[in-house]
Amino acid sequence: MNLLEAGKISKLRIAHSRWLALLIFFLLLICGNRLGNGLKWEISKFAGLGCVIIASFGRVWSSVYIAGRKTSTLVESGPYSTTRNPLYLFSLIGAIGLGLASGSNLILALLTLSFALYYPFVILGEEDSLRKIHGPAFEAYARRVPRFLPKISLYSEPETFAVNTKQLKSAILDASYFLWVYGALVLLEGLHNASILPTLFRLP
């Protein structure tokens, strides 16, 4: 995979995420969730917030190591010492958190299924690029470190690490997306419960 192909995949990934977000936003604009305004809804919100916080901090932590060097350097320390794709792992945790915050099994299933169907192709494409650039070094890394689910016993980190501050600021803004969307989901449901927004039906 060359840089042009990688750029196309990245644009498709962003477009895919935006269209899915618009669909979910439209559904939640006209529909309430199945949990209403009781204890189950509060527990679901709390669990969702926990996932979103983990995802946001996890993506920033991962970006500290990879910002500005995503394919040019083979990063093997920090979160990348336990899984080859920590950014996507934390994105999945964030997607699950947003699904929980929506209070809808349908939204949770849409987010999780969308990730499961799309991101494996993104991961394989990026690994192909790394394999072509780094050759045997990447092969050795791939044999040692799991592709997705982390192996905590492998964790290692340097005492110091140079960071691309411009790229890191961009990553922090990107990670904050989960927190903003979480707030929007909770606000929408609050507006439904207050009868400010119409509830045409409740999502399962």
Spatial separation of the C-alpha atoms in residues 180 and 31, rounded to whole Å: 20
Q: How far is CA 108 from CA 63, 101, 105, 203, in A?
A: 26, 9, 5, 11
Per-residue model confidence (pLDDT) at position 70: 65
Full DSSP string of 4-21: HHHHHHHHHHHHHHHHHH
Per-residue model confidence (pLDDT) at position 143: 95
Spatial separation of the C-alpha atoms in residues 103 and 100, rounded to whole Å: 5
Closest CA to 146 of 76, 90, 61: 76
- Name 56's Cβ contacts closer than 8 Å, sequence gap at least 6: 94, 175, 176, 178, 179
Biggest alpha carbon–alpha carbon distance for the chain: 61
Domain annotation covers residue 67:
yes
Rg of the Cα trace of the chain? 19
Domain annotation covers residue 35:
no
Per-residue model confidence (pLDDT) at position 11: 64
49: containing domain: 3-29+44-203
Domain annotation covers residue 37:
no
Helix locations, the chain, DSSP H: 3-30, 39-66, 86-102, 105-134, 136-144, 165-193
Per-residue model confidence (pLDDT) at position 89: 95
Closest CA to 122 of 9, 4, 2, 17: 9
Domain annotation covers residue 106:
yes
Closest CA to 106 of 2, 201, 8: 201
Per-residue model confidence (pLDDT) at position 2: 44
CA 82 from centre of chain: 17
Per-residue model confidence (pLDDT) at position 92: 94
Per-residue model confidence (pLDDT) at position 1: 46
Per-residue model confidence (pLDDT) at position 73: 80
Per-residue model confidence (pLDDT) at position 140: 95
Per-residue model confidence (pLDDT) at position 4: 45
User: pLDDT truncated to tens, each residue of the chain (204 aa)?
Assistant: 444 455 555 566 666 666 777 777 777 777 766 666 678 878 888 999 999 999 999 999 998 888 766 667 888 999 999 999 999 999 999 999 999 988 888 889 988 988 888 888 888 888 988 898 899 999 999 999 999 999 999 999 888 777 777 877 888 888 888 898 898 888 888 787 777 877 776 777
Domain annotation covers residue 52:
yes
Domains of the chain: total: 1
Per-residue model confidence (pLDDT) at position 69: 66
The pTM (predicted TM-score) of the whole model is 0.85
